[in-house]
Amino acid sequence: MVSVMRHRKLRIITNYFVVSLALADMLVAMFAMTFNASVQMTGRWLFGYFMCDVWNSLDVYFSTSSILHLMCISVDRYWAIVKPLKYPIIMTKRLAAYMLLACWIMPAFISFMPIFMGWYTTEENSMHRQKHPELCEFKVNKVYVIFSSSISFWIPCTIMTLTYFAVFKEANKQEKQMHSRMGNVMLLSHRPSKDLNNLNGELNSAGSSKTLTLNEISTDHLHTPTKDKNIMKMKREHKAARTLGIIMGTFIICWLPFFLWCV
């Protein structure tokens, strides 16, 4: 976060999502894990009925926010790699701000609101909690499980899987095209001048609708600063996509058993 604030070159849309994700993960550690550590050490809930609801709300809120950030990053990478020409037009700072705002507002609808209103649990569990304030158990009803898990995991996970599948498919396609072009350049650069002159003669005598010359062929494959810059940018995009793909895979491995167990 500090690096993005200090260095102007790092202030790109993708990094805004990454910084916001880091903030969400940090808040999970500060507010959710801290309370959980006290329960693990003492074996009981020490902070009363109200703070139990606060803890459960914060846990659901920040965890969901973190997952929604990962989904937004996958969408951002999809547009950057699969639709690179449309990316600057579509993924504007305003759209990124709206997406980040949604990542922080939407989790409230499945955390603070249903938990403090008592919609998330059964009547039996509510009565049990009032009689035993030393316990803080998050027992939920079926409706809440389906609704919250859909927003927290199943919908984001589906979107991430589809976008990253498209990203890796397009990345492999672009990489093959890049290697093919580089191979053509190497072939032309190492071909004897006599053969190249013969190639010109063959092309001119072929009677094609458009006469090609060596200059036209070479110009198409020349390494220009613009082309080199585009290749380097494409390599960076692919590397970032692979890294984020690893993060997404780790995310699914860690969260999938939990949400399968909940449902």
CATH number of domain containing 122: 1.20.1070.10
Q: Is residue 140 part of a domain?
A: yes
Query: What pLDDT is attached to residue 103?
Result: 97
pTM of the predicted model as reported, rounded to 2 decimal places: 0.75
Within-domain flag for 192: no
pLDDT value of position 2: 58
Indicate the DSSP class of residue 1.
-
Q: Where are the beta strands (DSSP E) in the chain?
A: none
Residue 219, domain member (yes or no): no
Residue 156 inside a domain? The answer is: yes
- pLDDT score of 5: 61
Report if residue 224 sits inside a domain: no
Q: What is the pLDDT along the chain (263 residues), one digit of tens a residue?
A: 556 666 666 678 888 999 999 999 999 999 888 898 888 898 889 998 899 999 999 999 999 999 999 999 999 989 988 888 899 999 999 999 999 999 999 999 999 999 999 999 988 888 888 888 888 888 899 999 999 999 999 999 999 999 988 988 887 777 676 666 655 555 555 555 555 455 455 445 444 444 444 444 444 444 555 555 566 666 666 676 677 778 778 888 888 888 888 76
Domain count, the chain: 1
What local confidence, expressed as pLDDT, does residue 195 receive? 52
Residue ranges making up the domain that contains 142:
1-184+232-262
Structure tokens of 82? 């699969």
How many CB atoms sit inside 10 A of residue 218's CB? Answer: 13
Q: Are 223 and 185 in contact (CB under 8 A)?
A: yes
- The per-residue pLDDT for 246 is 82
Q: Is residue 255 part of a domain?
A: yes
The answer to whether 53 and 68 are in contact (CB under 8 A) is no
213 sits in the region (left: phi over 0; alpha: psi -120 to 50; else beta) called: beta
Contacts of 167 (CB under 8 A, 6+ apart): 74, 77, 78, 81, 82, 241, 245
Position 40 in a domain: yes
Instruction: Tell me the Ramachandran region of residue 43: left when phi exceeds 0, alpha when psi lies from -120 to 50, beta otherwise.
Output: left
C-alpha 46/C-alpha 136 separation (Å) is 9
Q: State the Cα–Cα distance between residues 68 and 64, nearest whole angstrom.
A: 6
In a domain, 47, yes or no: yes
